[in-house]
Amino acid sequence: MPFPLSAFADEISPELDAQIATLKRLGVPGLDLRSVNGVNVLDLDDGQLDEVAQKCADNGLHVQAIGSPVNKVSYSAASQAQELVKLEKAIHAANRTGTKLIRIFSPEVPNTDYDNAWMAIEAWMAEQIYMAEQSGMTLLHENDATYYGAFPRGSKRLFERFGGPSFKAAFDFANTVLIGYRPMEDWFPWLLPHLHTLHIKDAVEIDKKIVPSGEGDGQMVETITWLVKQGWSGPLTIEPHLSSAGKFGGFSGEQLFEEAVKALRKVVEEAAK
């Protein structure tokens, strides 16, 4: 496969050993660290973070990114300060586990205030990107749910203002389908210069249902084919949500996770033809 593979391993099992064993068996070398034993990555202590890093290394794996929940909140002055504290924890976790990548979001604002909220959103994100720059981190912004950057116009505004080495995109196919958009019509080619990672899950819009890669409305074969032609070869991060999906994560289980990996490999094979 021409792309590095990674996964939100807590989709497999809450237990670290089961996560690592399945990733190793399926040939997925990267682990996006979101939770272990039901404990969010930001709440893991140094001993737990060290254990993750060491067990990954012992099995030929690595921590690809910190899958933080930073900015998965509605906008307010109080929450702005709280998210800075969370980002500090995410930076610490990244340093402890040997990665420079941190998945984040952008705060939610009411549709009626979408344009008026830009100055507040800009100030909010500027603080965090400065923190990333000072610590040598890259923030990977995921388009999720109805947060500011979930919408193409909001995300485009963010990347026009902040796009650079410390602020890149983690593009999620299913998340954009579920709010009525499509990758090739609404996101590409403008997102390409900012694209770091693809989050791999697909969805059927009319049913609001998450499905395996290539079985939904996410234009995955078409998009990856186009990206290959553009010379893009970034990470594909598997986040299938095939059993359940919630605000702060999803679950698939080992069997459905394996099906998700097989579906992705089939999509990539078709895209490479």
Closest Cα to residue 173, out of 134, 214, 128, 137? 214
Per-residue pLDDT, 244? 45
Q: Which residue has the tokens 């970034």?
A: 234
- The two counts, helices (H) then strands (E), for the chain are 8, 14
Per-residue pLDDT, 63? 99
Amino acid (one-letter) located at 134: Q
pLDDT, tens only, 28-58: 999 999 999 999 999 999 999 999 999 999 9
pLDDT at 248 exceeding the cut of 80 = no
Q: Which residue has the tokens 């690809």?
A: 64
pLDDT at 132 exceeding the cut of 90 = yes
Mean pLDDT of the region 8-14: 94
Strand partners, 32: 8, 65
pLDDT at 252 exceeding the cut of 90 = no
Give the chain's radius of gyration (CA, Å): 17
Per-residue pLDDT, 16? 98
pLDDT at 247 exceeding the cut of 80 = no
pLDDT at 183 exceeding the cut of 60 = yes
pLDDT, tens only, 77-98: 899 999 999 999 999 999 999 9
Please give the structure tokens belonging to residue 144.
Answer: 């999720």
Those residues whose C-beta lies under 8 Å from the C-beta of residue 47, and which sit 6 or more positions away, are none
pLDDT at 250 exceeding the cut of 60 = no
* Residue 210 to residue 206: CA distance in whole angstroms: 11
**Ordered domains of the chain (ranges, CATH):** 5-271 (3.20.20.150)
Q: Give the predicted TM-score (pTM) of the model.
A: 0.95
